[in-house]
Structure 1
Amino acid sequence: MVSFLLEVGTEELPASFVRSAIAQWREKIAASLAEVNLAAGRVQVYGTPRRLAVYLSDLPERQPDRAEEIKGPPASIAYNDGKPTQALLGFARKQAIDLDAIALREVGKKGKFVFATKYIEGKSTPELLQQLVPQWIAGLEAKRAMRWGNGEFRFPRPIRWLVALWGDRVLPLEIEAVSSGRTSQAHRVLHPEPLDIASPEAYVETLKSGFVQVDREQRQASIVAQVQAVAETANSVASMPADLLEEVTDLVEWPTAVLGSFEEEFLELPVPVIKSVMVEHQRYFSLHPADRPAELVPYFITISNGDPAQAEEIAAGNGRVIRARLEDGRFFYNEDRKQPLDAFVDRLEQVTFEQSLGSVLAKVKRIEQISGWIARQLQLNRGDTADVLRAAHLCKADLVTQMVYEFPEMQGVIGRDYALQGGESAAVADGIEQHYWPLGAGDRLPIALAGQVVGLADRIDSLVGLFSIGKIPSGSSDRFALRRAANSILSIAWQADLEIDLLALFVEATSTFASDPPATFNILLEFFGQRVQTLLQEDFGLDYDLIDAVVEPTNPEKVRRSLQDLQGTLQRAQYLQQLRRGGTLELLYPTVNRTARLAEKGDLAAEVLDPAAAVDASRLQEPAEKNLFAASQSIYARGQTAVREQNYTILVQALLEAAPAVAAFFDEVLVMDKDPAVRTNRLNLLCVLRNNAGLLADFGAVVMAGES
């Protein structure tokens, strides 16, 4: 067994790419080896701003020999009166095998076919690696890639050196005129001299001797430990947001935590402003009193990639930078507060939302209108409605403040602060900030009612407006993050238990704002069907077929019903999952599925539920069909109660009780009677049963064990 090391040395890589590339190689390299029948004992991927590396342990020296069975022509074509035909001879020549190696074997119902077994000698592992390594490098996906020199190869940054070691020998490789060797580069400042790697096993320690910590997990652990230790020297606790920690881990090769400070007078600024300067602009960790985590102290910690001996100079330089940024923040903050937040609203006329959709002020007016519709649906009282409409009016005002112009990440946050200082209620102020929530996957959902309603209205307006001008996501392209907007609408409605009729809101919004209301509405319908389906599976872990039973993007009627009653859709899908886990679905399925299959031969509309309206009782001849009619009346009555009380156990129990009557009906009654009137009457009876079962789900979409 032999180990292998690959290091790709580059100019400084984007931090986000380092993290992504490590994850990609962990998955792709193991899969790539498996495709050529190789397996490493361990696949360890490393990454820093200047390099990506992979260490593979215990690789075999050769690919194993293998026997490959190849299917040839049918026996009827391969032989003529027992003699080989040209088809068989051609097959043997192509596979380089003797006719003696040919065998005949039955293939299901297709008859006999010719088969040949071909023995293939394995290639040497170094030879395979020479083919695979360029694919590993070129196969890394990145948001942006570049070319350099006169080459055509694309990578996030120019490649400057390659290390490729098969055991203690250099494996010859070349990427864009860069040939492989055993020489790597150490830390730019702390060890400017190159390093020779003796063997793959020596890689990590050799680089460490050159002040490069290539193991990302160890580098991050070192940062955490250093930050905590330095914070203690300032009698404080460090805030370490996960995103910031991930980023700084990939900005340095030899991390050193350095304590810096700024004047205490800057603490008069709102905490979010100071933290924005520290985190978003400077990549610093903020410090807090141990017993007051919401407050700040006039210190920060930066992670340096320089000389630890120069810590004082590094701290002083970073202090000058943050002081200047905080001074800017203080100036903008004081200037903005010379007038109330309301005074900024009209200036939104000068800011374009989208060229075809007008200004941000026009968008705000639409948000106010949609917020009013939602408030009426939710039957909010006068006070809550006033808060919602006021928050809608002010929700974008801070976009034209000097603070947000300089610090865009403060939108909503500084709007809340200015609103409170201007005398607005806490409900309105919270709504201004929270209408942007969730900001990303896994982020907080709005807690304030005004934030929920205005957030829904804002996203509905964006979806309707952008869809109406053809800005529809396709494939991986979603420039306006419309999938996330739709997901947020559903998440807010479900998590806050808002009883909104999304279908009615789409009808109102498209008819009021879209140039082609029917086309825009239909796009929204299909788009949201997909979003409901995705979230039910990803966020709630429900089975795909049970989701299809309540909402299916290709079935407009199912989508309409799901959007009219989002809470009911979630409840029905979760209840079906509960029935499956408890075994009740298996008991219920034969009755409703058999009924639904034959009901397809009828033409009774799906919305007809009352047996008395669909079935002529005077035409019922057989005792079994009379019994089923009586059972269907009970199902109808109990189904209405189930929907009214949102308790579908009532309907399920009625369907289970009807099982004997359904079985007897199919055993004793000829549904497809020669008399058209009798036949239609019996089909209508089955259709009514199907329609009432459909109050819970379309059982035709349910897949039971053994089905496909």
Structure 2
Amino acid sequence: MPSFLLEVGTEELPADFVAGAIHQWRSRIPQSLQEHSLSASSIDVYGTPRRLAVVIHGLPDQQPDREEEIKGPPAQAAFKDGQPTKAAEGFARKQGVALEALKIRATDKGDFVFIQQSFPGKPTAELLTELVPQWITGLEGKRLMRWGDGDLRFARPIVWLITLLDDAVLSVELENGSKTIKSDRFSLGHRVLSPGKVIVTHPNNYIDILQRAFVEVNPQQRQNKIQEHTQAAAQKVNGSTPIYPDLLTEVTNLVEFPSAVVGNFDEEFLNLPAEVITTVMVTQQRYFPVFKNNNFEELLPYFITISNGDPAKSDIIAAGNARVIRARLADGQFFYKTDLSRPLESYLPQLETVTFQEELGSVRDKVARVSKVAELISAQLQLSKENSNLIQRAALLCKADLVTQIVYEFPELQGVMGQKYALASGEHEAVATAIFEHYLPRSASDRLPRTMTGQVVGLADRLDTLVSIFGLGMIPTGSSDPFALRRAANAIINITWSANLQINLQQLLEQVATDFVAAHPTQLNLLHQLQEFFLQRLRSQLQEEMIDYDLVNAVVGDNDADYKMRALQDLLDVRDRAFFLQSIRNNGELEIVYDTVNRSTRLAAQGDLNTTELHPQLINQALFQKSSEQAFYDALVQLEPKTIAARASRDYQQLITALAEIAPKVSSFFDGADSVLVMDSDPEIRRNRLNLLGLLRNHARVLADFGAIVKN
């Protein structure tokens, strides 16, 4: 079976485009082949800074033939008195068949005329000639460019094109104004180590031929070599280096033939905070820092770069890289010393010159709002005066480092340098730690703040941002979320859960939103928008914790205002109830009570009992006609103190056990020898029985809305 190679040769591509193009082709090319009924035994996508390629093995020689039924006009329009009309003749002529080929078949909408057409499969070579330009021009990316006088758009100019079906070149052309890029079998080797043309004879030989030209087209193989070479290089200087995932991905797509080069810098720069040095290396220069051991705490005066040049020239490459990083570290050293010449608090007035958002004022204004929200949270948590004062101090200083010289130069260090400058200024350690921690988590893989001071300031900062940006009507839509509000809301939930903070989010939203509306009276629907946004994030976070969707609805409330409010008032309780429900579903306990409670819940909806009543005093025992009613009532009397105790202690196992105990009596009420007709013709008896069911529903609602739970 034939194999096919497509290689698109270009000028140097951006690293992020290489990664994105590989990802796109891995999903789109198989889908494209499937849409054209072409199978393949394997599809491998490759990429380097100078080329994108796909090798497809096990293609058929042509598409399979296919049969297709084509629907025509209604039978009554196609035939009159058994004779074909002009409608039938026109349909047959259009499809290129004789009138005798028309068949009448019944459908849901009446009898229609049909024909059966046979279509021979196209040769694979012909189809690939059509598909290849679509695969190339269909790639998406940032900042696509045009070159020459044509309209062809790609990340960088396309220089050459290979399209081989086995050993034959398929004729494919890309038009670009007055210039046409024609396919051939010629590739180019490594720009330095093998700069000449390379002839590819067959798709099966592609990888080997390029490797001989010092090009490793397989990104996974390049990445593996980079990791191996980097660790080996670090060991040569008795050190170790962490593999930063983002940096590893980037350098993998910046080189075609990687080699690790060790460079060094002056030991005097080791007096700089390690974070400054690693930021210069990793973020700005794409170097791997070298540490003394695997704890990655104490740096050595070395760095490792991944070169795409001649390994024989490593000394020259290392010297050039060292000159660059020496200049960057010297800048960092100057900024660091200059910043330390002043206490951190002295930078606060400068925050007034930095705009947070045009309509929301300066960063100094934001600090004032954060301090106020932090005070509200401290009051909810009933913190001591000492802890509250530390939180207020941290809130005041949390953004001060934004106007220091080193953070201006290296924005990634905000919070990191604030912590160091705070300690150098004599601030309490808890304040310094909070300045760093209030930014956490910075990413999905980052840790959460561990100190109470950092947690409270982090919550306050995000709550202010959410309320303020929502208040301006800048609500996230689709994939657009320029202020990262979804991430901020997720962080509020996760910090609260992780630290078990007993905060009332609903009350906080009300207080902060009220203050905002007082200053911006045009936004009147702010609180509702914030509530719905947090509920959406809460649902998402619970499902990420592997809670089934229906159990999430049962505790958060799909269209239940009481549950929505309860969830926002107590994030810990909604988490605990969700996890408990999932556990009793997994161990089978939920199934024991499900039918009884769910049936009661559905019937109780036809009554008028409110959903919070638990006391059976409203039941009129004089209206009982069957012993099952009395047994049901007696069980409810015994259930009430257990439910109240479970709600107070949040020991929901106690509640579910009590519901399991009452289940047989409820079953007898419905279906036993002494069962009743709930919907009795007497309205008083009917209402009394519905109230019995309503009380049971309400006891179960302390845990969840069983009406939202789907039976497995």
TM-score by length of 1: 0.93
- Give the Å deviation of 1:82: 9.0
Distance across 1 between alignment mates of 2:444 and 2:186: 42
- Give the Å deviation of 1:634: 3.2
Distance across 2 between alignment mates of 1:156 and 1:573: 47
3-state DSSP of counterpart to 1:505: helix
Q: Deviations over 1:628-672 (max 9, x none)?
A: 223333333322222112121222222222223323333433333
Matched, 1:491 2:491: no
For the Cα contact (< 8 Å) 2:241–2:294, is it kept in 1?
no
Matched, 1:346 2:353: no
3-state DSSP of counterpart to 1:59: coil
Distance across 1 between alignment mates of 2:17 and 2:546: 30
Q: Deviations over 1:51-90 (max 9, x none)?
A: 1111101111111223445678899999999998998888
Q: Deviations over 1:237-259 (max 9, x none)?
A: 12321211111111111212111
State the partner residue of 1:520: 526
State the partner residue of 1:205: 208
State the partner residue of 1:675: 682
- Give the Å deviation of 1:100: 6.5
- Give the Å deviation of 1:564: 1.4
Distance across 2 between alignment mates of 1:208 and 1:601: 75
Q: Deviations over 1:335-389 (max 9, x none)?
A: 1111111111222111111011111111111111111221222222333322222
Q: Among all aligned residue pairs of Structure 1 and Structure 2, give the percentage whose two residues are the same amino acid.
A: 52
State the partner residue of 2:125: 126
State the partner residue of 2:702: 695
Q: Deviations over 1:147-169 (max 9, x none)?
A: 33444443333323221111111
Q: Deviations over 1:109-139 (max 9, x none)?
A: x999887654432221122222322332233
Matched, 1:28 2:28: yes
3-state DSSP of counterpart to 2:297: coil
3-state DSSP of counterpart to 1:55: strand
State the partner residue of 1:560: 565
Matched, 1:550 2:549: no
Instruction: Give the one of 262, 267, 271 matched to 1:264.
Output: 267
Distance across 2 between alignment mates of 1:640 and 1:153: 71
Instruction: Give the one of 665, 670, 679 matched to 1:666.
Output: 670
State the partner residue of 1:451: 454
Amino acid at match of 1:701: A
For the Cα contact (< 8 Å) 1:526–1:556, is it kept in 2?
no
**1:189-338 correspondence to structure 2 within 5 Å:** 189-290=192-293, 293-338=296-341
State the partner residue of 1:595: 600
Instruction: Give the one of 641, 653, 656 matched to 1:637.
Output: 641
- Give the Å deviation of 1:411: 0.4
Matched, 1:430 2:433: yes
For the Cα contact (< 8 Å) 2:102–2:113, is it kept in 1?
no
What are the ranges of 5 or more consecutive residues in structure 2 without an aligned counterpart? none
Given the superposition, is the C-alpha separation of residues 153 and 231 from structure 1 closer, same or farther in structure 2, using an over 3 Å criterion?
Answer: same
**1:41-52 correspondence to structure 2 within 5 Å:** 41-52=41-52
State the partner residue of 2:576: 571
For the Cα contact (< 8 Å) 1:530–1:552, is it kept in 2?
no
- Give the Å deviation of 1:467: 0.1
What are the ranges of 5 or more consecutive residues in structure 1 without an aligned counterpart? none
- Give the Å deviation of 1:302: 1.1
State the partner residue of 1:506: 509
State the partner residue of 2:612: 607
**1:151-190 correspondence to structure 2 within 5 Å:** 151-177=150-176, 178-190=181-193
State the partner residue of 1:580: 585
For the Cα contact (< 8 Å) 1:533–1:552, is it kept in 2?
no
3-state DSSP of counterpart to 1:446: coil
Distance across 2 between alignment mates of 1:367 and 1:284: 37
Amino acid at match of 1:534: S
State the partner residue of 2:5: 5
Q: Deviations over 1:22-42 (max 9, x none)?
A: 122222222222222222111
Distance across 1 between alignment mates of 2:679 and 2:89: 58
Amino acid at match of 1:678: I
- Give the Å deviation of 1:687: 2.2
For the Cα contact (< 8 Å) 1:529–1:552, is it kept in 2?
no
3-state DSSP of counterpart to 2:122: coil
3-state DSSP of counterpart to 1:658: helix
What is the aligned-residue RMSD (CA, Å)?
Answer: 2.7
Distance across 1 between alignment mates of 2:231 and 2:415: 31
- Give the Å deviation of 1:215: 0.9
3-state DSSP of counterpart to 1:631: helix
3-state DSSP of counterpart to 1:7: strand
State the partner residue of 2:630: 626
- Give the Å deviation of 1:533: 1.1
Distance across 2 between alignment mates of 1:627 and 1:79: 74
Q: Deviations over 1:292-341 (max 9, x none)?
A: 63111111111122222322221111111111111111111111111111
Given the superposition, is the C-alpha separation of residues 136 and 535 from structure 1 closer, same or farther in structure 2, using an over 3 Å criterion?
Answer: farther
Distance across 2 between alignment mates of 1:592 and 1:700: 9
State the partner residue of 1:145: 144
For the Cα contact (< 8 Å) 1:536–1:542, is it kept in 2?
yes
3-state DSSP of counterpart to 2:162: strand
TM-score by length of 2: 0.92
